[in-house]
Amino acid sequence: MTVPKTVGVGSPVVDLLTRVPHHFLESVPGEKGGRLLVDRPTMDALLSRLTTPCTRALGGAAGNTVFTLTALGAPTAMLGKLGNDDEGRYYAGSFERLGGDARSLKATGEAPTARCLSLITPDSQRTMRTCLGAADLFSRNDVTCDDFAGNQMVYLEGYLLWDSAIGEHILAMADRLGLTVALDLGTFEVVRNLGARLNDLLKRHVDIVFANEDEAAAFCGWPDPVAGLEALAACCPTAVVKLGARGALVQEGAQRCHIPALPVTEVVDTTGAGDVWAAGFLYGRLHHLPMERCGLMGASLAAEAVAHLGATPPLETIADIKRQW
C-alpha cells in the first residue's frame, strides 16, 4: 500500500548530550533536572566549560516524532528554520540520510541553529538548556503552499501556537489544502495562554490531538485525565491523553480504550518518550490499523525510547519493532 506522506512542523533542534559530575550544576543557573531557554552567550559559555565532547543528535518535539516515523519507513518531510551553519547542515543532512525530505527546511544567516544542551549527571538525570536561535525566527513568511505539496498529513508541535500568527497560519493553510492535521499540545503553558481560543482551533482544524495529563487538565480545568480526554474528544475526531508509566487513553467518537505502558527493565531517559509514542500511533493510523493497535505500537516504541539515552530509540530497535507489526 502507498503510505501518505507526513510533514512535521516545529523547531529543528540539535541535541548536544554530555555527561557531567554533580558539582558541575552548582554553577549552572536554574534547578537540576529543569529545562530553561538561554541566550547565545550563555549557551556558548556553558559549552566552553565542558571537559568531555558532546554527542550530537537530531531533536525538537515535532522532529522526534517525524524522525521515528522516517525510521519506520514512512515518507516524511520537515518544515522549520535552521541556521546557515555546521549544525544546520548536520541536521538537514542527517534527516535526508535517514530517508526524510529536507527541502522545506529554511536557512538563515541571522542566527545559529537551535541547540539543546543536555547535561547528564551520574544519576541519569538530564538538565537541559536550549538556545532557540534560528528556530525563533520562523515566521509565516517562511511558509508557502509548496511546503505542503505531496503531503497528506501535517504534524504540528504545540509550541508554535505560542506565537499564534505562525501556528494558526499553518493550521489554516493545512485546512485549505484538505490535509489531515495532528497536533501535540506541547506544554500546559500553551493551553493556558490560548484559553478558549484553543477550543475553536481544535474544532476547526485538528483531526488528531495529543496531550499529556497536565495539558489535558489545563484544557478541561479539572485534574482528571478522563475528563480531559472527553473534553478534547468533543473538539477532535481522535483524542489521546498520555499518562506516562500508566499508559495512555484514546478516544474516537464513542469508542474509548486504555493503552497500557509496556514494562521496562531500567528507565534511562524519559525525554522524547511522548513524541515517540505519537510516532507509533500515527504510523498505525497511516496503515489504517484500529486505535488499540495504533496505541500499542506507540507503547512499544516509547518503552524502547526510555530504555536508551536520547529522545528516540536506536534505528536497529525501531526496525525490530516494525517487524513485529
* DSSP secondary structure string for all residues of 116-174: EEEEE-TTS-EEEEEE-GGGGG--GGG--GGGGTT-SEEEEEGGGGTSHHHHHHHHHHH
Q: What local confidence, expressed as pLDDT, does residue 316 receive?
A: 86
Percent of the chain with pLDDT over 90: 76
pLDDT tens digits, 131-189: 999 999 999 999 999 999 999 999 999 999 987 789 999 999 999 999 999 999 988 98
| Cα-trace Rg, the chain | 19
CA 325/CA 296 separation, integer angstroms: 10
Residues 6+ apart with CB under 8 A from 118: 15, 16, 17, 18, 126, 127, 128, 271
Rounded-to-integer distance, Cα 146 and Cα 127, Å:
38
pLDDT for 319 equals 86
Average pLDDT of the chain? 93
Q: Which fold has domain 6-11+60-112+137-184+261-324?
A: UDP-N-acetylmuramoyl-L-alanine:D-glutamate ligase (3.40.1190)
pLDDT for 1: 60
**Which residues, 6 or more positions from 55, have their beta carbon under 8 angstroms from its beta carbon?**
16, 17, 18
Q: What is the pTM of this model?
A: 0.92
Q: Domain map of the chain by residue range? A: 6-11+60-112+137-184+261-324
Which segments in the chain show pLDDT lower than 50?
none
Q: Is 12 left (phi over 0), alpha (psi -120 to 50) or beta?
A: beta
